[in-house]
Structure 1
């Protein structure tokens, strides 16, 4: 497979997942602000922008500002609309490697963006984004051969999911009382009912954190996403000689996964912001290592969006 095609597939997976997870995080935050009138909106929204890696500036932050930057800005890969537009652009470049159904799903999503931005409420828009991401993911899972095409897509999706779930958990750790509670975070991941079944009705903050961090069977947990990314790298690396350098993506992800997997839960929860920062940093380093190994190019790569 050509490296530019592999790179496009990797970024399709990342961008679609980014749109999905960003919609979940922002929607959970805004719903929480509507439900609790005592929260300082400016403080809460500043913490949200900080968790998402954006500068808040000195002026007061409003819900309109957050929606403009994280939902509707089609020029920014950090927003839902921008991520979907970037996914479609990458799909256009890898058109010959995608099924017609997958291309149509991404292209029709891109075509519908202006109408959804102009006519829907924020909650309706976020629900639509999650629905379109589910359609793309379902088509990919059901109708893509488990060759390099699928592995690069899944690799990008898994790294982005680990990073974004860490950001979601960070909203609770960093923002404190102004952040959504653990039940809201579980619901935003579609995890509340399965969480209750897993723990047989027991409900506590520590159990919710444990579920989103290290559950081995829930696809949106950080541990599950990291393990999936490692498996993808193992299947893609078919060379007989394995270079175990510090910049190796499998080594980086394995180090982050082991730190989560074998650390006592109480110690993990005690340093939750630092731990989630390590996960995000590890995902960024692994992405850089993947780019160097699988997508070597001397050309300018601005078309992939640039932002991680």
Structure 2
């Protein structure tokens, strides 16, 4: 345990958090930057005396429970949480669960891709963010609950699996996605063994989908990328797109980007969709 480095690290993380970040009033007499020691201690569910001793490099080795409380109170990233454990002389604990917060720069990037359908998924395949063309091509995700925005639930828990309702993509592409999803979800379950949103999803799929149970039993975790997909859109017809996936490593998320070959009929269809948006041409006026 490196008491001095731990003390300095805790102080630096505490001082970067404003009271507003954690729902506390700033108050007229606040002179210290960031949180006060007693506020950090309260958020971590430990005594102010104990926390003060840690920041003065006089404290005993923190337990895993204390480290988890400190990480939560100081809003540490996964890398910072691991560093905290190393300083305390403990092996890093697994992250508490997949991140659902999309970085602002990624949201800005989505908005700057007007000719590509792009969206961000969590480690459990929940669609977290999307641009307008993705909503037009696939679905208006803003009208769905987080549970209903989960792509793996959609593909495995369909009322009629033989007609996979995965936004009109053909059966071969849907089957490829199903295999990819099962393998990626198994890897996520290893990274987040105690996360209820992961274990609950896996248990639900195992109980309700024989196909998922079969794929899960294979223990496969590697996969080949799907390079193209064909959507059959109700208003503009078939659209064949290239599929590229960018890993957002610090959040354990992925950005999926669909683009069409420039000048192709699919490119023209995507351009039309960007104008139509999510409106229905057959809707009564």
Higher relative contact order (CA 8 A, sep 6+): 1
Using the size of structure 2 for normalisation, the TM-score is 0.32
Larger Rg: 2
Query: Relative to total residues, which structure has the larger strand share, 1 or 2?
Result: 2
Q: Which has the higher helix share?
A: 1
